[in-house]
Every structure is written in structure tokens, then in C-alpha cells.
Amino acid sequence: GDSVTQMEGPVTLSEEAFLTINCTYTATGYPSLFWYVQYPGEGLQLLLKATKADDKGSNKGFEATYRKETTSFHLEKGSVQVSDSAVYFCAVVSYNFNKFYFGSGTKLNVKP
Amino acid sequence: DAGVIQSPRHEVTEMGQEVTLRCKPISGHDYLFWYRQTMMRGLELLIYFNNNVPIDDSGMPEDRFSAKMPNASFSTLKIQPSEPRDSAVYFCASSLRGLHNEQFFGPGTRLTVL
């Protein structure tokens, strides 16, 4: 069945470091891909999305490219800030089956 | 817009009691989702509605859980009887025109069953 696999956390970085959080998916058809972020004590909010192969989603300095050949949607940011400390969730919607799956989440800690 | 509204924000109850969680989606949104988040199991989709009709309830853990959406502006998630393993944060989310569009999450209800 469809699924999403994220790298395990927590990820601890110093401020201004480069961030990569890996996400791979298994889905039939042509899924849409998402990254959501959850700040402490809050609900999730959409960070970025991509709906077709080679699309690049971007927001707040974060980017992710829809790679159909490797079934991946890795999240990157060139220079993280303390305020980026949160839990990041990769998610996939399988268009054929209208199902929605979240990954397990990756906690990011950014130290000053 | 006020966003998705959930109540109560915190609920503490004793095992065996009935618990009702409430959600008001963003006005005009036609999809409503209920999620459960725990450390052990992460974020789980329990059920979602489209135009007040339940579409997929395959994530509802067992018969003790039930969800209703009597109109476009209100939904409930009920647990009867509650058990300690139901302790979690329950999120409601809504979206416009489908799973492919952004889901807007409420602040969550933290449920503790003693």
C-alpha cells in the first residue's frame, strides 16, 4: 500500500547550518506531496507542496523537489534559524485512491 | 477568519467516562478531518468527511470511537467508554475541495484518561 518514510530524528543543528530531511514515498498513480510543520503546542501548518514530477515547492527559505525517479521529496534549507525548531512531517496524497498519509515526523532542534 | 476551532483545549476524565470533542471548521470548507497524535504512534488520520458525509473511517480504532458531522459548521468525535490508551492530542482540520489542497489544523484537544 501507499506509505511515507522519513528520516528519524531528532536532528540537531547549529544556527546557519544546512538542513536536509529525507522523505521517500510509495504510491501508485501520480501523488501530490507535502511538507507540514508543527511548532511546539500548535497544530500542523502547510510549509510547501508539489503536485507533479520535477515541481519544486518553496516557502520561508525551505525547498523540496518532487523526484519521481527516486520517489523522494527531501526538504532542504540553506541556513536554519532557531525559530525553525519544530517537527516536520512529509505527506502524500495518492490521486488514484484518494488516500492521505503522513510520515512519522522529524524533530529539528536548532541551537544558537 | 478565526481558523479551525476546537473545544475543549484540555480534557481530563476517568476511565469509562464518555468524552466528546468538538470542532468548527473554517467557513466554506467542505472537507473535515480528525487526527490523533501520540508519541508512540505519531499522527493518525481517524476519519474524514466531505460535505458532511463520512468518506473514510478506516482509521477509527474501534467501536468505542464515533464521529458525526450534523452540518457544515460542526463535528464531534466521541469516545465511549474512554480508556487510558486513548490519551492523546486530537486534531481537527479542514480543507477546501479535497485532499490535494492545504489542510488547516485546529490547535488540538489534549485528552488525558486516568
pLDDT tens figures, B37-67:
998 888 999 999 999 999 999 999 889 999 9
Percent of chain A with pLDDT over 90: 78
Q: Residues A43-76: pLDDT tens digits? A: 999 999 999 999 999 999 999 999 999 999 999 9
Answer with the residue of higher pLDDT: B110 or A100. B110
Mutate to test the interface with B, among A33, A101, A102 (most CBs of B within 10 A): A102
Q: Do β-strands B10-13 and B109-113 pair in parallel, antiparallel, or remain unpaired?
A: parallel
**Residues of A numbered 5-24 whose beta carbons fall under 8 angstroms of chain B's beta carbons: which are they?**
none
Can you tell me the distance from the alpha carbon of A65 to that of A73, in angstroms, rounded to the nearest whole number? Answer: 6
Contact B4 A93 (CB under 8 A): no
Task: Give dist(CA B29, CA A45) in Å, integer.
Answer: 16
Q: Are A88 and A110 in contact (CB under 8 A)?
A: no
Which residues in chain A have their CB less than 8 angstroms from residue B102's CB?
46, 49
Among B24, B43, B97, the residue to mutate for chain A (most A Cβ within 10 A): B43
* Residue type at B73 in one-letter notation: S
pLDDT for the residue numbered A28 = 79
**Is B77 in contact with B23 (CB distance < 8 Å)?**
yes
Which phi and psi (to 5°) does residue A46 adopt?
-65, 135
CA distance B14 to B96: 37
pLDDT recorded at residue B16: 97
Chain B nearest-CA distance from A1, in A, is 14
